[in-house]
Amino acid sequence: MAERALVDRLNEVVDAIIARGDATAALRDPELATLARIAVDLRHYPSPEFKARLRVQLERRTTMTAATMAPAIREGFTTVTPYIRVPDAGLFDFLTKVFDAEETFSGHGGGGGMHREVRIGDSMLMIGEGSGTGGMMPIRPMAFHVFVKDVDATFARALSAGATSMGEPEDRHYGERSGFLADPFGNQWYVATPLRPESLAAAARAVTPVLHIEDAASYMEFVKRALGAIEEIRVPGPTGELRYGRVRVGDAAIELGEGVPMPGSFMLYVADPDAMYHQAIAAGATSVMPLSDQPYGRVGGVEDYAGNQWFFARPQAPTS
């Protein structure tokens, strides 16, 4: 009973502190005095959402500064482009129906299959269609966080295009209304609409790849070493695991989280593919494509210990 009474007395003090900054009630209650002092200090606890939002604002300014100093490595692309490998053209049709994806390029890739470049909002994806019998880019589904204007409408379109619900759209405590889907090809789409226009999510690009991985906290350290990634957000879980994280690589973001591994492939447009390739190898990755000059530019690729593949490329200057 005494414990219960303390719970209620403390709550009254906290109510007064939140409403009026007034902790005088606690001064007469020695059992509460030190707890009340902590509660008073917590009134000034900086909002994590505010801090993350301000950080994104500052980054945008610095990215804009950097962008004026160095032209885009490949126009229309950010540093990181997810490369999804699927057996046929079905995924492209799905993305067109659900996300109004537009094809910006199609042609035959090095392995003979179709290579497509697809724009969703302000983001690019590459799709390789082919047999998937091993090789450099085996068929593997990936996961994506996608921001759309109306999550409910997009979710419904996805279901009618053959996707399966992994979680109906709901308002989430992290500031977005989101629903989770698996497409018929095994890719996962976390479709979201920011709950408030000023929320952090509103500042994100349309599509951000999500890497599910075992021991995501260690993997975050790896991508910092291998790719020079910069940690943006780290949300630890109850036992210290990385529940959610986000890193920046160049001007692009990648989200990370603890989960059943879904290794993916990525094309990175960088000024110096040789330096990036050797840095990744030095961090423990293994080569899957030695550096070479191809008709489209210089490129080399590695696979890391978690099975993710990273291709570093500097496109050939266009000839006219």
Task: Take residue 209 and report the two structure tokens written for it.
Answer: 């790849």
Name which of 240 and 295 has its Cβ closer to other proteins. Answer: 240
Contact string 53-72 vs other proteins (x = CB under 8 A): -xx-xxx-xxx-xx------
24 binds other proteins (CB under 8 A): no
Q: What angle, rounded to 10 degrees, do the helices at 273-282 and 216-227 form?
A: 140
How many contiguous H segments (helices) and E segments (strands) does the chain have? 8, 16
Taking CB under 8 A as the criterion, the residue among 2, 38, 260, 317 binding other proteins is 38
Select the residue interacting with other proteins from 30, 46, 71, 197 (CB under 8 A): 46
Q: How far apart are CA 14 and CA 31, in angstroms?
A: 14
User: How far is residue 304's CA from residue 308's CA, in Å, rounded to a whole number?
Assistant: 6
Indicate whether 14 belongs to the interface with other proteins (CB under 8 A). Answer: yes
Q: Which of 278, 282, 262 has its CA nearest to residue 222?
A: 282
For residue 5, state whether it binds other proteins (rule: CB under 8 A). Answer: no
With CB under 8 A as the contact rule, the residue among 2, 134, 173, 295 that binds other proteins is 173
Residue from 43, 93, 153, 215 in contact with other proteins (CB under 8 A): 43
Q: Binders of other proteins among 199-218, rule CB under 8 A? A: none
Q: How far is CA 42 from CA 6, 18, 25, 33, 175, in A?
A: 19, 9, 17, 14, 22
Binding site for other proteins (CB under 8 A): 6-8, 10-11, 14-15, 18, 21, 33-35, 37-39, 41-48, 50-51, 54-55, 57-59, 61-63, 65-66, 173, 230, 236-238
